[in-house]
A = this chain, B = another copy of it.
Amino acid sequence: MEERDRLEAYLRDRGLKMTVARETVLRAFLGLERHVSAEELYDEARRLDPSIGQATVFRTIKLLADAGLAREACRDDGARQYEHAWKHGHHDHLMCVRCGAVVEFQDDAIERAQEAVYSAHGYVPGGHRLELLGLCPACAGTGGGKGSA
């Protein structure tokens, strides 16, 4: 498991230890497909090991983010979210505001246009966050004209 190796290398590098709990959280994280809140991750980790503590999950997900395995994202309702970052390349999100469906996409034209913006302002690129909101085909078809739930 490449991700495990990555985590172990990261830990060893900093004089930290590879523990069962950390491996459990990693497995829980890898098992969940996308955008997980820390609490969802906690639930999943508990399924793998009911004795795991909440604090451990919070501490470990930060570690994963630091090790480059998880990427942090912020959600409107306050809860932080994490998504896979290892070998997942960069992508942005297209989200349906009605049903919550999420499409991950990668668009060269957007990336290039962003580079141009950086240049125009003399900034050195250092990552970005893009979320496109709208209605998915299904919701747009079923009378999505009104924004109400």
Contacts and interface: CB of A to CB of B under 8 A. Distances in A.
A55 to B, nearest CB: 17
A136 B123 contact: yes
A116 B132 CA distance: 11
Interface residues of A, number: 41
B105 A109 contact: no
A30 interface: no
A144 interface: yes
B123 A137 contact: yes
A76 B127 CA distance: 14
A133 B124 CA distance: 8
Given A80-B78, A121-B103, A116 B109 contact: yes
A68 to B, nearest CB: 13
A97 interface: yes
B105 A110 contact: no
A132 B125 contact: yes
Given A123-B140, A128-B131, A107 B118 contact: no
Interface in A102-146: 103, 105, 107, 109-110, 112-114, 116-118, 120-137, 140, 144
Interface of A: 72, 74-76, 78, 80, 94, 96-97, 103, 105, 107, 109-110, 112-114, 116-118, 120-137, 140, 144, 147
